[in-house]
Amino acid sequence: MASKDKKTEPERLSAPESIYINRELSWLAFNHRVLLEAADPAVPLLERLKFLMIYQSNLEEFYRVRIGILLHRAMLTPDKADPLSGLLPEAMIQEVLKVTREQQTLLDSLWKSVREELRAYKVDVLDFKKISKVDELMSKKLFGDIKGLLFPKIIGMDQPLPFLWDGEPNVVAFLGRGTEQQLAIIPMHRIPPYLSFEIDGCQKIVLTTQLVRHFLPLLLKKENILQSAVVVVTRNADVFLSGAEDSGDDDLRHKVSSMLSKRRREMPVRVRIQGKLSQEGRAALLKKMKVQERFVFNQNIPFDLSFRSAISGPASLRYEERRPARDLGLKKGEYFRYIEKQDLLMSFPFQSMMPFVDLIYEAADDPEVLGIKITLYRVSSSSKIAAALAYAADRGKDVLCLCELRARFDEQNNIDYSELLEDAGCRVIYGLPNHKVHSKLCVITRQHDGNISHITQVGTGNYNEITGEQYTDLSLITANEAAGRDAEDAFAALLEGQLPPKGDYLWIAPWGFKSRVLEELERERQKGSAGRVAMKVNALNNIEVMEKLIECSQAGVKIELFIRGICCLRPGVPGKTDNITVRSVVGRWLEHSRIYSFGEGDEARIFIGSGDLLNRNLERRVEAFIPVVTPDTRAQINQVLSALREDREKSRLMLSDGSYIREKGGEGTSSQEALYRYFSVRKVHLEDESGRENKEAPAGNGPESGAESGWKSAWQKLRSLLGME
């Protein structure tokens, strides 16, 4: 049995006659599923608060990117309709604004509920409309502590508004008497988002935007304050390098830095206001900001919920601890010998990324290793992997790092690391002019007795230890020489500024991805009702792939799509997609792995890699995929698919009208919990020369492992290079 969620998405996300769904509306439906996790009483309270944070962060990025793109389209090609939904750019903008307002009502309601529940645990987010005398006195003292950091800018109503930076809150106040008014702007970017104090065992959270707004009379002592509010501007981030600028020359880092500066000053795409302004005051402010009323949202929930990290409370307020398993049963010095005999699959965040770091250190210390090549799309701010690569370069290895400087919102971090890695002795190259290098590809080259061999790694997620504990991803490492040759060919092309060839063993996008997916689907279509397809991706909107899926369904092929986010194809449409099911899992960790399985049983052809079924991944990015061929690794991938298939606790089923439901009877079926139990206890064993398991290996990669100790010295060197000492 199944039941619809209360306050779910609009009944229909596309026109009744259309089998396709608009991309933007499908994404908003995904973010609504994130919001519904904050409404689930089975989710611990502070985790529900975290889902509110994620929802807000997701929506801000969506407006910065997708609304920026739609506004550009509305100006440049207003009569060009979306090929899937038939909506014109202006109509899409209107639909997005409408759905966002509907979700805003639920967002504010959930915040009110969470806030009330926090009080039961003696955590009070102060409401200055209903504040006690004691809280008022304590808050006044806190205001005195930050008052010296506040610098009001007062302008006449006929003067231009000071620039409001993207994403930064500002307290805005109207001053004066009668028609003689002025405007005060108090930027809050130097102020922490919250302060706290404790009284009688109760933790008081003070939002500094509300603190400053409440005590404006102490800041603007000589002024007559008429009304005030907190304002946050979201600016368009749809800023790219032009073809002339994006030439791949040595000055690319500087040009990307210039682009980032330009992005911060782009036009507003959304304004959020907290606090009530008069109709006249609101109109005057928007006129100065050059923002249309339709892009303005009132909200009651705080703009910044980061105070969550300061709340202690009982363990029941959080998820039960789930640490990544660091013990694979191998130690540094044993990875090569193991991988030479069998492929190694790792599953994050159930297992730690540190074994891969160990592998890099093993390569650095192996005299037979000639070089390491790797693509870096997003790395953590204190990357152990970058430190290991720097260590390898210091050990005399030829280390080639492709740093994609255009990884959106990670550009500055990648610029910093490109400079850092160069200083450490690595060779650094960048992405291609018209294609982002989004692949997660690493190849280690060795020479023994004059023979060249390779260890190749292909992943579904970034080389980032932080997201490695937050996202579900897969990483396959193999000594297969066909994989190594394809990887070397890909890097050779990238070194020359060319698109890599499609690959014989690996799938390399753009040439070898979409064509292979279509070929595999056609092979299943020809089997009719005996055909089977299972694909786990984050998004689907490519019309060629969707048309082929429809053909397969009409031929009787059973198709399972596990799609976390955007899905522009409606399943279960009679005569078209009867044999297609779509499930979305939103849970504790962000579903991020990509799996493609064609056929069933021992005959199934299984691939994992870095790309979704979006137009950009299929056509405008360099992606890498690898077949999963050994019995052990195939069994693990099938375990992932089985867990997703059986999930009724965190999975929602998509209906033929585009809405989603959660099926009943799901308690205890969470795929993420099931996979944690499965992968966190898995170990591999190195066999000795007689083929017996080597039981002498130490029990894991603890603090004194090769990776950890090597990282400490290498990272110390990187800190010195960055002037961080």
pLDDT grade, residue 18 (50/70/90)?
Answer: confident
Q: Check whether 242 has a pLDDT greater than 80.
A: no
Q: What is the mean pLDDT of the chain?
A: 89
Listed residues 639, 667, 695: the one ending a domain: 667
**What's the confidence (pLDDT) of residue 72?**
86
pLDDT grade, residue 313 (50/70/90)?
Answer: confident
Q: What is the mean pLDDT of residues 575-586?
A: 97
pLDDT grade, residue 688 (50/70/90)?
Answer: low
Q: Check whether 410 has a pLDDT greater than 70.
A: no
**What's the confidence (pLDDT) of residue 225?**
95
CATH number for the domain that contains residue 394: 3.30.870.10
Q: Are the beta carbons of 139 and 131 closer than 8 angstroms? A: yes
Q: What is the mean pLDDT of residues 384-410?
A: 87
Q: Is residue 699 classed exposed, middle or buried when 0-12, 13-18 and 19+ CB atoms within 10 A define those classes? A: exposed
Tell me which of 696 and 269 has the higher pLDDT.
269
Listed residues 120, 148, 179: the one ending a domain: 120
**What's the confidence (pLDDT) of residue 241?**
44
Q: How far is CA 9 from its chain centroid?
A: 22
Q: Rounded CA gap, 11 and 112, in Å?
A: 26
* Residues 497 and 542 grouped into a single domain: no
Please spell the DSSP secondary structure of 127-171, one letter per residue.
Answer: -GGG--HHHHHHHHHHHHHHGGG---EEEETTSPPPPPPBT--EE
Residue 133 lies in a domain: yes
Q: Check whether 129 has a pLDDT greater than 70.
A: yes
The Cβ-side half-sphere exposure at 627, using a 13 Å CA radius, reads 19
**What's the confidence (pLDDT) of residue 689?**
53
Q: What is the mean pLDDT of residues 161-167?
A: 91
Integer CA distances (angstroms), 235 to 64, 275, 478, 719, in order:
6, 21, 44, 33
Residue 586 lies in a domain: yes
Write the DSSP symbol of residue 87. Answer: -
Of the listed ranges 36-40, 81-85, 172-176, 537-541, the one predicted with least confidence: 81-85
What is the β-pairing status of strands 595-598 and 532-537?
Answer: antiparallel
- Rounded to two decimals, what is the model's pTM? 0.89
Q: Check whether 246 has a pLDDT greater than 50.
A: no
**What's the confidence (pLDDT) of residue 382?**
82
Q: Check whether 160 has a pLDDT greater than 80.
A: yes
* Residues 575 and 639 grouped into a single domain: yes
Residue 12 lies in a domain: no
Q: Rounded CA gap, 469 and 485, in Å?
A: 31
List pLDDT tens digits, range 485-534.
999 999 999 999 999 999 999 999 999 999 999 999 999 999 999 999 99
Residue 523 lies in a domain: yes
Residue 687 lies in a domain: no
Q: Check whether 16 has a pLDDT greater than 60.
A: no
Q: What is the mean pLDDT of residues 227-240?
A: 86
**What's the confidence (pLDDT) of residue 717?**
56
List pLDDT tens digits, range 56-72.
999 999 999 899 889 88
**What's the confidence (pLDDT) of residue 431?**
84
CATH number for the domain that contains residue 94: 1.20.58.310
Q: Which domain holds residue 237?
A: 122-309
Q: Are the beta carbons of 376 and 463 closer than 8 angstroms? A: yes
CATH number for the domain that contains residue 175: 3.30.1840.10
Residue 326 lies in a domain: no
Q: Check whether 247 has a pLDDT greater than 50.
A: no
Angle at 499 between CA 623 and CA 406, to 5 degrees: 60
pLDDT grade, residue 1 (50/70/90)?
Answer: very low
* Burial annotation 111-147 (CB, 10 A radius, 16+ → b, else e): beebbeebeebebbbbeeeebeeebeebbeebbeebe
Tell me which of 252 and 159 has the higher pLDDT.
159
Q: Check whether 668 has a pLDDT greater than 80.
A: yes
List pLDDT tens digits, range 366-392.
999 999 999 998 887 788 999 999 999
Q: What is the mean pLDDT of residues 121-135?
A: 95
* Residues 529 and 603 grouped into a single domain: yes
**What's the confidence (pLDDT) of residue 693?**
56
In sign, the C-alpha dihedral spanning 324, 330, 332, 338 is negative
**What's the confidence (pLDDT) of residue 10?**
38
Q: What is the mean pLDDT of residues 468-496?
A: 97
* Residues 461 and 600 grouped into a single domain: no
Q: Check whether 422 has a pLDDT greater than 60.
A: yes
Listed residues 100, 120, 140: the one ending a domain: 120
**What's the confidence (pLDDT) of residue 667?**
85
Residue 690 lies in a domain: no
Q: Check whether 716 has a pLDDT greater than 70.
A: no
Number of domains the chain is built from: 4
**What's the confidence (pLDDT) of residue 258?**
55
* Residues 498 and 555 grouped into a single domain: no
Q: Check whether 699 has a pLDDT greater than 70.
A: no
Q: What is the mean pLDDT of residues 316-338?
A: 93
**What's the confidence (pLDDT) of residue 378?**
82
* Residues 87 and 165 grouped into a single domain: no
Percent of the chain with pLDDT over 90: 76
Q: Check whether 614 has a pLDDT greater than 80.
A: yes
Catalytic residue ranges? 438
* Residues 232 and 116 grouped into a single domain: no
Residue 320 lies in a domain: no
Q: Rounded CA gap, 11 and 70, in Å?
A: 24
* Residues 344 and 439 grouped into a single domain: yes
* Residues 73 and 141 grouped into a single domain: no
**What's the confidence (pLDDT) of residue 713?**
57
* Residues 149 and 294 grouped into a single domain: yes
Q: Check whether 218 has a pLDDT greater than 80.
A: yes
Q: Are the beta carbons of 431 and 404 closer than 8 angstroms? A: yes
* Residues 173 and 116 grouped into a single domain: no
Q: Check whether 674 has a pLDDT greater than 80.
A: yes
* Residues 384 and 350 grouped into a single domain: yes
